[in-house]
Copies of this chain bind each other. A is one copy, B any other.
């Protein structure tokens, strides 16, 4: 029997119809002859993100290196996107909370950066050392901090697309960061829902979910003193996973170095497990964090959402906003949790 579930925070409904397609082990990704990162060369001559090709990108805005600034021996590099979806031109016009009568076109004001995560063309983050991953997380944090200093930027979306089936157009391992002059709809909905919960129940809904899920166990795939990785109760897609900090902290810019070290471990371990158990699936990964200039929020935890793209959203999902998930989150969690521990 299919069932409806509703996300506690956003109110988003999903249909869990696990009889439709079957068990988690049927989801091993069929790449249909496409190349996996490890099958690619370590260096590709025409890749602007490869070590040695640094002059092919716009001038870097930040880099992490062992040596001096002019030393090409970098570990992580941040550059402006050559084909930006937004640009720091023209100035931010006023962005109204609700639309008016008009058909106004507004300047595409913003910043679009690429975080090149490694000099190696073929190294997926699931194979990073925890040290390399920590530098990537430091780069995320640093750039978020820099963008948050722009008065006219209200939010920045950090995200990572892996493989063409998840919308990636560049092979070389990278993340992207887009600074925007408004708080985007999904974040707004999440914050508003979390605020309603907070006012009604008197506690942060993320603190509540963390406590409940820890006790229920069935959807938790990893936990330590700092983080919980879990498949959410109302998962939209098979194997949707969230990484949540146990500590109540609303902005990723406020995470301590020691916590980033731990996050690097969880994150690499999780990616590695998914690669092994689902045969290197395409995925989208993004950060939800507090908007800029709002201080610390009582109703929100920054967190990562990881969405393997193993099924295709179709007319029902787009028309209704209700996702049909063909895997029980509890079964998906069991499958991932009980996989042999990988050797990173």
Contacts and interface: CB of A to CB of B under 8 A. Distances in A.
Interface in A304-325: 305, 307, 311-322, 324
Interface stretch (A39-47, A72-80, A99-107, A243-251): A99-107
A58 interface: no
Given A4-B108, A106-B5, A108-B4, A185 B314 contact: no
Interface stretch (A126-134, A136-144, A162-170, A256-264): A162-170
A277 interface: no
A284 B273 CA distance: 34
A98 B189 CA distance: 13
B159 A284 contact: no
A85 B180 CA distance: 37
Contact of A315 (B7, B20, B233, B284): B284
A102 B12 CA distance: 14
Contact of A319 (B84, B159, B196, B311): B159
A319 to B, nearest CB: 3
Interface stretch (A49-57, A60-68, A86-94, A335-343): A86-94
A146 interface: no
A314 B2 contact: no
Contacts of A316: 85, 157, 159, 176, 178, 286
B20 A83 contact: yes
Contacts of A319: 157, 159, 184, 186, 284, 286-288, 305
B1 A286 contact: no
Interface in A11-55: 11-13, 15-17, 19-20
A98 B160 CA distance: 31
Contacts of A208: 101
Nearest to A81: B20
* Most chain B beta-carbon neighbours within 10 Å: one of A6, A95, A176, A187: A6
